[in-house]
Structure 1
């Protein structure tokens, strides 16, 4: 058994249309914003409650980028398997920032459309 595991599974909906970018070397990346929600009943009031979490998902697998580009749009329901990665970047004001994303690398990760191919 592995000494550690870094695996994320999400089932949720896209909060906006995917953003596809191309690199100078011909590679492409898809950036997704995925919402997951949980519902429960408040014990004290009996009121239905809901909480939504937003997840940044980055797809580097070129075949999956093609699927994202052709079939996914805001509202699409998807199943994602990837791994958490944190990276550092410099914002427009020059400050260093960190972001944690669910990443699907080539030959790793999975993306399944859960609401068909109509679009």
Structure 2
């Protein structure tokens, strides 16, 4: 029986994607995605937010089409699907830090960042009918990039 170990995350990029060359003709595209959990404190009534950062990696062959980099800009709203793993390492002060990482199999750009397009949330009106491709997150330009596309 086949098994599936996959995680789906929707969040915003914390910074532009970076490219790192690895041995044997492999390239790693790295970018952090933030997931925010919002709630109201029952005791104080204050709004609270906890941000979890997930470091994402897309693995590619060197010389492959890299157009994904045009869209993985700071602030972009993305959905990423892939295999999760944790990495522990020792910091300079001797403490141990663990981070969540995700090897990406599929990337959906739900809303481009303002630096990647001229589209702004301020220009979007939910009540207007538009011929543009809108998504359930209020963003524009929603499309899917699979591993074969880049």
Normalised to the residue count of structure 2, the TM-score between the two structures is 0.59
Give the conservation status (yes or no) of the 8 Å contact 1:84–1:102.
yes
Q: CA-atom RMSD, angstroms?
A: 3.2
Give the conservation status (yes or no) of the 8 Å contact 2:33–2:56.
yes
Q: Which structure carries more relative contact order (alpha carbon 8 Å, separation 6+)?
A: 1
Q: Distance in 1 between matches of 2:18 and 2:9?
A: 19
Q: Which runs of 5+ in 1 are unaligned?
A: none
Partner of 2:52: 53
Cα drift, residue 68 of structure 1: 3.1
Aligned length: 111
Higher Rg: 2
Normalised to the residue count of structure 1, the TM-score between the two structures is 0.73
Q: Distance in 2 between matches of 1:24 and 1:55?
A: 24
Give the direction of change, closer, same or farther, for the CA distance of 1:91–1:43 in structure 2 (3 Å limit). closer
Indicate whether 1:83 and 2:83 are aligned: yes
Partner of 1:14: 13
